Every structure is written in structure tokens, then in C-alpha cells.
Structure 1
């Protein structure tokens, strides 16, 4: 009889997990088939959209950081992909790296009334707006203007369709579409040349973009 309370406690804890497991889909809802894309205006999913940046560190290694909490919209129609538009905002002051000291330096305020070495704590978010999209199969060239540190310059993304599909009701029941993209910029062109050339001027951007509606 003394075992009954322990059994009851086990069931109370295990039951919710078992219930959730039973409700989870057994196959991924997304498909790499472009025919799965639904036309419309999508909102960037901040939980699954990341901009990873990489720089060369003193010719000795590659260092990487991440921008998250991305917002914005994607409007597309599979029947008229050339009319696709992208408008994305990236809060660069929320940058994350694997090193607390480097993250602090990237977001450190300016000293003696000057300019921060990098982003500082209050830099306005970066903003990318597409101007032209050229699609070739599952790939696309997305041209647009990137505004960073108060400077606007043209940037071209090499994008690739990743997948599309509707999540099950218990996971939101929304249409989703995802892409991967790469681009290269020179940070000095945006007034962020601190440390060049010990830390490369060239910055590679690897983007995992998820949108839902």
C-alpha cells in the first residue's frame, strides 16, 4: 500500500509528457517541393531566423557570432516570383558570441564622447529591403539595400529555398516557408572598420530565414 503514493506521483509527472508525445507529428510538415509554397505575406519567425556572421581573426582562425530576434515580412506568389519582396530588420545591438568579453566589446558604449568601436548599446537595427528578385529553380538572387550604422549600401543575397508547409494545429497550424541565404559585406563601408586588418574587413553572412502566416 505504501507504494501507491509513489506510483501516483510517477503517473502525474509522466502523463503530460506521454500526452505531448502522442500529439507530436510523426513526419516533418515541411516539404522541399516549391509547389508547397502558399502565396501571401509572411512574417519573419524570430524564434527560427538567425543571421550568422563570420570574420577572419588575424589570419589564424574564423570567428563567428549571431544576430537573432529578427523581424520583418516576405511577400511572394509562386505564380509571380519576380514580384517577391523582403523587408527585414535585425537588432544588431543584441549580438551574441561565444565569448562574453567580445560580446561586451561589440556592444560597449563610446569612450570620451567618441564613437563605439563596433555596435555600441544603442545602435539602430540594421534594415534590408529588397529591390529585385531573380529566381532560377530553387535558387534566387535577391538584390536590395542594407542600412547599417546610418549607412545604406546595395547588398546581394544568394538565396535557396529550404522548404514550405503547414504546421499541425497543436503547433500553430500556420503556413510556413524557409530559405537559406549567404552574402558578403565590407564592414568598413558601413563605418565599422575598427580592427582592420587584424580582424577582416570582409564579413560573411549566413542566413537561416523562417517565415509564417
Structure 2
């Protein structure tokens, strides 16, 4: 009986020693980040950023992870050259002075085998605030074309733009922004 218990203990230790964090590079061609807001009660407007990079680390056995994202603020798309320029100006994102928006996680919450939320710091215009990303969809599986594991996830959060120095036209234009992120990341 002792031999069986010792063998079981050794087997569990060796299985644990194989578990390790896996690193995934964000695929910028299949990742999008957008924000929407109420425009004076008329419509919900949506705009986004065209360029981002970063890394996701997942340890499936330990049920831990991290997220590190950098968004190129200059890549904002307002739908027209005039409005894009307005969003890039000092009135809003001030992209000349603050060319990057970042999100760095502090923890990832799992339910079962899947992450369901990420706690972290969002930094816009040099202002960092805690933001929780709620993961609405998550999959980690082999990509049949690349022959590598790949993560796909959709996440949302709601922030007050005034807390990040983006208060122009509040309350006429909603202070609340809904952030949406669709990310694909390929195992390194």
C-alpha cells in the first residue's frame, strides 16, 4: 500500500513539473479594439484603433495568467479624416504627447479551465486606473493552418472617459465608454 501511495505522489509531482506557463503573441491582423459611447442621445457611436501588440501568458494547470497590451493611439479611426484628427488632438487622446495606450494585468480569474475576467491597469494619456475586462468568449486550441496553439477571446469593460483626461463634451456626449476587445494570440 505504501508503494502505491509513493508511486501516486511521484506521478502527481512529475505531472505538476510539466505544467508551465505558455506564452502567446498577440496577432495584430486578427485583433481589434473598439470603444462605443452615446452621442447626445441620438446614436451609439463606435470607433477603434487599428494597431496593437502584446503578449498573453496562460498557465492552464495553475489557472493563472497575464495580459500585456500596447495600443498605438495614433492608429485611432474616427470614420473620417476630420473626426480622426479631432480624436487625435489635445482635446481627446493627444497622440503626439501620449502615443500609446497600455493595459497590464495584475490577475486573471478562472472558472474551471477558462479565464472569465482580467484585473489590471489601463493607462490612457498618462493616467492609470484599475479596469476589469470581462471575458465573454475564450478558446485555446490548435490553429490548423499554423500548426500551433492559438487563443481567441472577446472581452468588454466599461470606463468613465473623464477619469482618463477625456472629458471633452461631457455630459452631452456620454462619459461612459464601452470597450470591446477581440484578440487572437499565437503560441510562441
Higher strand share: 2
Q: Find the aligned partners of 2:36 and 2:136 in 1 and give their Cα distance.
A: 19
Q: Where does residue 123 of structure 2 map in the other structure?
A: 147
1:73 pairs with one of 47, 55, 75: 55
Q: CA RMSD in A?
A: 1.7
Contact kept, 8 Å, 2:136 with 2:156, in 1: the verdict is no
Contact kept, 8 Å, 1:93 with 1:121, in 2: the verdict is yes
Q: Where does residue 85 of structure 1 map in the other structure?
A: 66
Contact kept, 8 Å, 2:40 with 2:173, in 1: the verdict is yes
Q: Find the aligned partners of 2:107 and 2:135 in 1 and give their Cα distance.
A: 13
TM score, norm. by length of structure 2: 0.82
Contact kept, 8 Å, 2:32 with 2:181, in 1: the verdict is yes
> Unaligned stretches of 5+ in structure 1?
1-37, 109-115
1:56 pairs with one of 22, 29, 38: 38
Q: Where does residue 163 of structure 1 map in the other structure?
A: 139
Q: Find the aligned partners of 1:139 and 1:211 in 2 and give their Cα distance.
A: 15
The structure having more radius of gyration, on CA atoms, is: 1
Moved over 6 A (4+): none
TM score, norm. by length of structure 1: 0.73
Contact kept, 8 Å, 1:43 with 1:212, in 2: the verdict is yes
> Unaligned stretches of 5+ in structure 2?
1-19
Using the TM superposition, give the Cα deviation of residue 39 of structure 1 relative to its aligned residue in structure 2, in angstroms: 5.4
